[in-house]
Structure 1
Amino acid sequence: MESRGGPAPRRKLLMGEIVDQAMRLFAERGYDGTTLQDVADAVGLSRPNLYNYVKSKEELLVAMVEATARDAANSLREVRRRTDLDPADKLRLLVRALVLRRAEQPAQFRTLDRSEQSLPPEIAKKHLRGRRAVLKEITGVIEEGVTAGHFRPVDARVSALSIIGMCNWVAWWFHPSEDHPAEPVADQIAENAVAMVARAAGHTPDTPTPLGAVALLQQDLDYLTRLLSEPGGPAKLPPGNG
């Protein structure tokens, strides 16, 4: 077994296996209920050899949290910044990406979800930043859709949290197989998400009518009234994360 200075390709493969096994064990037993010896046994290494790759459970958790936060936020940000898509198409792509991520890496998500309260402080901060980054991207697309008139004047943050919850739950109930692939499930949930915020048919910006314009204006006024009547106004919406 090579040490930290060993051949890079083999080391990368084995490190990936170590992280995968750790995620599986964390999901099954919880972070506190898993030891490095458990991880070593799952990979087929002695504990001294495992120390050539990781020195603590925290290292494994940091790698998992950083990869999860970075990959999710970056991919969603790229979609939100696209200028060739309208807000509904952006929301579909964002939700589809989140659902596929949960469906394809359920152990990783369940591990972080179950272990959230026991995460070391620095890791918990990274995890929270990642969740907030996801919330920011989805909230931003919904706000864009409301401003453009594609979406109803909903509370963007509450809607985003609802959509994220719908995506996250996939990690617990969905079990992909040849006869039950993840893609159709992701497509359906994406359509459900758009339906949650979309304007009613016949009241889109492309097909205005006098009565429709009055109805949309009334919705906007009702929404503005609700925001202004909240204690502290719209700027005082409570902070949160995805």
Structure 2
Amino acid sequence: MTAEGAGQRGRSGGRTTPRRKLLMSEIVDQAMRLFAERGYDGTTLQDVADAVGLSRPNLYNYVKSKDELLVAMVEATARSAADSLREVRRRTDLDPAEKLRMLVRTLVLRRAERPEQFRTLDRSDQSLPPEIAKKHLQSRRAVLREITALIEEGVTGGFFRPVDARVTALSIIGMCNWVAWWFHPSPAHPAEPVADQIADNAVHMVSREAGRTPQAPTPLGAVALLQQDLDYLTRLLGATGEPGNSAPEE
């Protein structure tokens, strides 16, 4: 359930207006801030109502429980992120390295622009109601699947080194998620350069050396790379004077 959806389920039962939508967004934002500061169990709906400037009865016109707020946050973080990553991975106009750069940049910007959402769910993970915890876990696994699939695509295509795709994906996700904890945007320190640098770091983690990408992702392409290695080894042995390769003594 999105923030808008939660608002539509309020007691008024009326059509969602721009003002209602704006206020519902403010309710979710304040709830995320309070959950991040006090934890899910330590925050009440009265706390949320006070932060927004509503009475508790009026708050019930928008949300009926903290669970509704948590569902909105789950969908605003992991589920929408998974959908965005899936769109990037399915693009046919980008190679795997370009996809990975765009994918990581998307995740970092999400964490940097709305860190309260991620920190709230991360801190409250053990105390989430079972159904919400299940949705949260499913969304996180969806993100992992998308990144793992992209890395496997890059390895198979010869763009990436033959790394363990799942371990690498978890490493990249951790690098992106940590931004929510240490990065504090400001006019002098915008999020975009940070996202660009982390995206470059992720690509460098898996990229082959320059000139080591096969021209075609086929067995023959891999054989061509092996032939390059054998040619280099032959030259290296000749240059170092290994036994059997040195010039005869006069």
Contact kept, 8 Å, 1:96 with 1:190, in 2: the verdict is: yes
Distance 2:101 2:212 in 1: 20
Residue among 38, 41, 48 paired with 2:50? 41
Alignment of 1:164-175 (within 5 A): 164-175=173-184
Distance in 1 separating the partners of 2:147 and 2:99: 9
TM-score computed with the length of structure 1 as normaliser: 0.84
Counterpart in 2 of 1:193? Answer: 202
Which range moves more in the overlay, 204-213 or 150-159? 204-213
Using the alignment, how far apart are the partners of 2:208 and 2:155 within structure 1?
9
Tell me if structure 1 keeps the 8 A contact 2:214–2:225.
no
Q: Which residue of 1 aligns with 2:162?
A: 153
In the aligned structure 1, how far is the partner of 2:58 from the partner of 2:222? 72
Residue 204 of structure 1 aligns to a residue whose secondary structure is coil
| Gap regions ≥5 residues in structure 2 | 1-10, 231-250
Q: How does 1:79-98 map to 2 (within 5 A)?
A: 79-98=88-107
Partner Cα distance (2:223, 2:22) in 1: 63
1:6–1:80 distance in 2 versus 1, CA, 3 Å: closer
Aligned twin of 2:37:
28
- What is the rounded CA distance, in whole Å, between the counterparts of 1:214 and 1:21 in structure 2? 61
Matches of 1:6 and 1:44, distance apart in 2? 22
Please say if 1:11 is aligned against 2:24.
Answer: no
Structure whose alpha-carbon radius of gyration is higher: 2
> Which letter does structure 2 place at the counterpart of 1:213?
L
SS at match of 1:52: coil
Name the CA distance, whole Å, in 1 between partners of 2:121 and 2:154.
31
Equivalent position SS for 2:124: helix
In the alignment, residue 15 of structure 1 is paired with which amino acid? M
How far, CA to CA, are the matches of 1:153 and 1:40 in structure 2?
53
| Percent identity (aligned) | 81
* TM-score (norm: length of structure 2): 0.82
Pick 1 or 2: higher relative contact order, CA cutoff 8 A, min separation 6. Answer: 1
Judging changes above 3 Å, is the alpha-carbon distance between structure 1 residues 210 and 134 closer, same or farther for their aligned structure 2 residues? Answer: closer
- 1:215 Cα shift? 7.6
**1:213 and 2:222 aligned:** no
Could you tell me which of 63, 83, 86 is aligned with 1:77?
A: 86
When residues 40 and 81 of structure 1 are mapped into structure 2, their CA distance, relative to the original with a 3 A threshold, is same
Query: Residues 162 and 214 of structure 1: is their aligned pair in 2 closer, same or farther, counting only changes over 3 Å?
Result: farther
- Whole-Å separation in 2 of the counterparts to 1:215 and 1:37: 69
Whether the aligned pair in 2 keeps the contact of 1:69 and 1:126 (CA below 8 Å) is no
Paired residues in the alignment total 216
Residues 61 and 81 of structure 1: CA distance in aligned 2, closer, same or farther (over 3 Å): same
What is the deviation of 1:31? 0.6
The answer for the alignment partner of 1:103 in structure 2 is 112
Shift in Å at residue 211 of structure 1?
7.9
Considering only aligned residues, what root-mean-square deviation do their CA atoms show, in Å?
2.1
1:8 and 1:214, CA in 2 relative to 1: closer, same or farther beyond 3 A? same
In the aligned structure 2, how far is the partner of 1:12 from the partner of 1:39? Answer: 17
Q: Distance in 2 between matches of 1:193 and 1:6?
A: 45
**Corresponding residue number in structure 2 for 1:116:** 125
Superposed displacement of residue 63, structure 1: 1.2
Quick check: 1:4–1:53 contact (8 Å CA) kept in 2? no
